[in-house]
A and B are shown apart, each in its own frame.
Chain A
Amino acid sequence: MLGFIESLLAAPTVAPALLIGSLVAVTSGVVGVFVVLRGQSFAGHALGDIGTTGAAAAYLGGLPALYGFVGVGVLGGLAIEGLGERARERDVATGIVLSLMLGVGALLLYFMTQRTNATGGPVAILFGSIFTVDPSIMLPVALFSLLALLLLAFLYRPLVFASVSPQAAQAKGVPLQGVGLLFMLALAIAVEESALVAGALLSTALLIGPAASAVRWTRQIGAAAALSALLGLLAVSVGIALAYQSYFWPPGHRGWPVSFFIVLLVLTEYLLARLLPARAARRVLPRREEAA
């Protein structure tokens, strides 16, 4: 076992992947608890796809993909937040923004394939790979993570209040729109950086999965955020280890995709959370009476 871990960490692609994966898992896990609490899973998922379009635009324009992801992601988030007030209206508006951005993305990817005459670019953007992360983006990704978490820390109390009981919060003077917009900003940053390093698929899995599991086990929001980050970390690190190991597996020793393992682990955690309800989990985890 120890030998396996040693060889794992010695592999040149694994250590950076673990480092950046952990960063993304923690940020997404913490932000995800609020996404789940506010019922914004669709927006959280849509932002990953929207950022992909931004990345394609950046690629065509010769800019770093990170700025494409974050720039277009933030714009998309603001559009989603601004277009819908009521739940159903917001749902449809999110869909239309996503549909339009996917359409533009299709156009840009078409231009990319025309130019490079290969599907490598689109595939990398759509599915991403944590093993091929460029080490130079480590610092900006870390800074963006920090920014998102600081924003959440700043918003924490009004955000919890506005998410749990919006009417009461409004009566107490919490500016719902302002809180919603700032949270959307934090969400967009968190989703886009994970979409960049891990692909749009994993960005949704790491945002929703650990958080949905965590809130089933504890109602205390701070504890849920910590647990969610932990579950995300667990899925990412075990997933990376399995993906590394899978190069020795059939068929063809080409390795199984890391995204498959991470999603599998995240889903296992979620199904455990569904099957082992809070009453069983409460023996293990602290649960205070109806925090918030």
Chain B
Amino acid sequence: MRNLDPVRTHEDSVLDLQGVAVHLGGRAVLHGIDLSLRPGEFVGVIGPNGAGKTTLLKIILGLLRPDEGTVQVAGRDVRAARSLVGYVPQSFAPDPDLPLRARDLVALGLDGARWGFSLGGARRRAKVEEALSWVDALHYADQPVGRLSGGELQRLLVAQALISDPRIVLLDEPLANLDLRSQGDVVALVGRVAHVRGVTVVLVTHDMNPLLSVMDRILYLARGQAALGTVDEVVRGDVLTQLYGHHVDVVRVHGRILVVGGADAESLTCGTCDG
């Protein structure tokens, strides 16, 4: 593991991974992962297919126990801190006739895991309205979710994740299946909300380019290892060559960054392709 940021375990650190390793079917999916994220920071997680991005998310969500190492959210074990982690899933494609309005979906994020009917009344309604306003979704609050566009749905999922006041939000490939303009909108929205509300954002994506303007740091995963730092620190030929284990070039064209690998170019350029 090459960590360009000195390992810190601050009091104010939101997410701490120490020596995390995961083995699945005899293969090390992740190993030697140490990282520490600050409040309100926007971190993009990039890496080729099979680099361990999904596994990392599962660990932070407490759905998967690492074989080695510790995971702490705001100084507590992940499983005790579930309410502090918001989650936006990779795919959500409701049927057109699903009897669920935008506000119902967002409300589930508030108290969907509790038993019984909700008895919140006015306070609950106000909270839902507020969350809808954060993502500028008030004007379609009463539309059935099955009839919304991909970008509109994505904003609702962000509101659903934020409504429980988490310290950290994980977004799994939120830009896949979106057109370029919606990608930009979602990234700007997430960046703004994270900044204003002091929520740490961990956004997994295939393509780092839409994130370049908002991302504070990048977590580059390859072969189960990680490099964490600013884009200029991490996305460099020498750093990535060491991470991938063979020669890699970083090319900057028209403000876009392309990662070009020598040996298996196809899987490497996927680190930059548009999902």
Residues of A within 8 A of B (CB): 86, 88-89
Q: Mark B84-104, 1 if CB is under 8 A from A, else 0.
A: 000000000001110000000
A105 to chain B, nearest CB (A): 28
Distance, CA A89 to CA B95, complexed state (A): 8
CB<8 Å pairs between A and B, sample of 5: A86-B95, A86-B96, A88-B95, A89-B95, A89-B97
Chain B residues, Cβ within 8 Å of A86: 95-96
Chain A residues, Cβ within 8 Å of B97: 89
Distance, CA A33 to CA B272, complexed state (A): 38
The interface residues of chain A, by DSSP majority, are classed as helix
Distance, CA A88 to CA B95, complexed state (A): 7
Q: Which 5 A-B pairs have the closest CB atoms?
A: A88-B95, A86-B95, A89-B95, A89-B97, A86-B96
Distance, CA A174 to CA B97, complexed state (A): 28
B4 to chain A, nearest CB (A): 38
Interface size class of B (residues with CB under 8 A): under 10
Distance, CA A89 to CA B93, complexed state (A): 13
- Chain A's closest residue to B97 (CB) is A89
- Chain A's closest residue to B146 (CB) is A86
Distance, CA A86 to CA B95, complexed state (A): 7
Distance, CA A89 to CA B96, complexed state (A): 9
- Chain A's closest residue to B93 (CB) is A86
Chain B residues, Cβ within 8 Å of A89: 95, 97
Distance, CA A246 to CA B130, complexed state (A): 71
- Chain B's closest residue to A89 (CB) is B95
A278 to chain B, nearest CB (A): 13
Distance, CA A3 to CA B97, complexed state (A): 63
Chain A residues, Cβ within 8 Å of B95: 86, 88-89
B174 to chain A, nearest CB (A): 20
Distance, CA A88 to CA B96, complexed state (A): 10
- Chain B's closest residue to A88 (CB) is B95
A67 to chain B, nearest CB (A): 36
- Chain B's closest residue to A87 (CB) is B95
Distance, CA A86 to CA B98, complexed state (A): 12
Chain A residues, Cβ within 8 Å of B96: 86
Q: Mark B10-27, 1 if CB is under 8 A from A, else 0.
A: 000000000000000000
- Chain B's closest residue to A86 (CB) is B95
Q: Mark B60-104, 1 if CB is under 8 A from A, else 0.
A: 000000000000000000000000000000000001110000000
Chain B residues, Cβ within 8 Å of A88: 95
Distance, CA A88 to CA B93, complexed state (A): 11
Distance, CA A88 to CA B146, complexed state (A): 12
Interface of chain B residues 199 through 256 with chain A (CB within 8 A): none
- Chain A's closest residue to B94 (CB) is A88
Distance, CA A121 to CA B96, complexed state (A): 44
Distance, CA A88 to CA B97, complexed state (A): 10
Distance, CA A44 to CA B97, complexed state (A): 25
B137 to chain A, nearest CB (A): 24
A73 to chain B, nearest CB (A): 27
B144 to chain A, nearest CB (A): 14
B177 to chain A, nearest CB (A): 11
B145 to chain A, nearest CB (A): 13
Distance, CA A89 to CA B94, complexed state (A): 11
A252 to chain B, nearest CB (A): 53
Distance, CA A57 to CA B97, complexed state (A): 35
B98 to chain A, nearest CB (A): 8
Distance, CA A86 to CA B97, complexed state (A): 11
A128 to chain B, nearest CB (A): 36
A168 to chain B, nearest CB (A): 15
A42 to chain B, nearest CB (A): 17
A54 to chain B, nearest CB (A): 30
Distance, CA A86 to CA B93, complexed state (A): 11
Distance, CA A88 to CA B94, complexed state (A): 10
Distance, CA A131 to CA B121, complexed state (A): 66
Distance, CA A89 to CA B97, complexed state (A): 9
B130 to chain A, nearest CB (A): 31
Distance, CA A88 to CA B98, complexed state (A): 10
A88 to chain B, nearest CB (A): 5
Distance, CA A211 to CA B260, complexed state (A): 44
A85 to chain B, nearest CB (A): 10
A261 to chain B, nearest CB (A): 38
Distance, CA A88 to CA B99, complexed state (A): 13
B95 to chain A, nearest CB (A): 5
